Amino acid sequence: MLLAIDIGNTLTNIGGFSLDGKLTFLSRAATNPNKTADQYAVEIRDILHLYDVKEDAFTGSILSSVVPPMTRHVADAVALLLKKPPLILGPGVKTGLDIRIDIPSQLGSDLVATAVGALNKYPKPAIIIDMGTATKFSAVTHGAVFLGVAILPGLQISLDALSARSAQLPYIALEKPERVLGRNTVDSMRSGVLYGSAAMLDGMVERIQGELGADGPATVVVTGGYAREVAGLCKKPMTYDANLLLDGLYHIYRRNS
């Protein structure tokens, strides 16, 4: 088996792949940069045992992280558990992507992994939308060319800022409202955030599609946090893929092993 770990700003995903690429288990834990390697080792071991998986079942591991303080500690934890260090996604790792941005080494490992996942699962060109702590748009075309990125605040950040900076607006949970024009404060906020985000996704996809030009029409793949809820409100067809990043890690590991 392959152990794949994605450390995001809010959540850390820990998954296990069979040799044929099937995701056999997936666990999500809160990201905490303040633990030691031994603490992470205990947490990962407990997750494996929760799914009745033993440490010696793994022949390798791969790690992606956008939280630098956690990267080395989690890598050391994996090495302690599996008796071999993980492949850390970063500069020098073969991905198969032709990254055409100003400084390719600065591209986040999460964006690399989702792009590789999309390349191996969907028709090209593809527009990838990752709705995590930040909402990130990227695009890949024929020939595995990675064209660039657009980044904006994620849904939860936007909602928290709205409540924090407006004295009369409460903190709320995001649920789909019955209509676009809300009839109370909570529904009005939910509508603005969810339908507004859906309209933004439609608009950004249209603009990115325009930059792709003759390479379109593009497949649109959405992943991350509130992706399923927002994609369902969009007018443009979008495919929701919860495990796109981990699938990308699997393919990157296979390319390097």
Task: Give the residue numbers annotated as catalytic, written as ranges.
Answer: 110
Q: Are 234 and 194 in contact (CB under 8 A)?
A: no
- What is the distance between the alpha carbons of residues 236 and 220, in angstroms, rounded to a whole number? 9
Within 8 A by CB and 6+ apart from 96, the residues are: 116, 119, 144, 251, 255
Give residue 89's region: left, alpha or beta (phi > 0; psi -120 to 50).
beta
- Please give the sequence-ordered ranges of beta strands (E in DSSP) within the chain, or none if there are none: 2-7, 11-17, 23-30, 60-65, 87-88, 98-99, 126-131, 134-141, 145-153, 219-223, 239-240
Comparing C-alpha atoms, which of 5, 26, 212, 29 is closest to residue 128? 212
Facing residues of 128 across strands?
138, 221
Half-sphere exposure of 81 (CA within 13 A, CB side): 29
- What is the distance between the alpha carbons of residues 63 and 71, in angstroms, rounded to a whole number? 8
Hey, how many other C-beta atoms are within 10 angstroms of the C-beta on 51? Answer: 13
Q: Using the 8-state DSSP alphabet, how is residue 218 labeled?
A: P
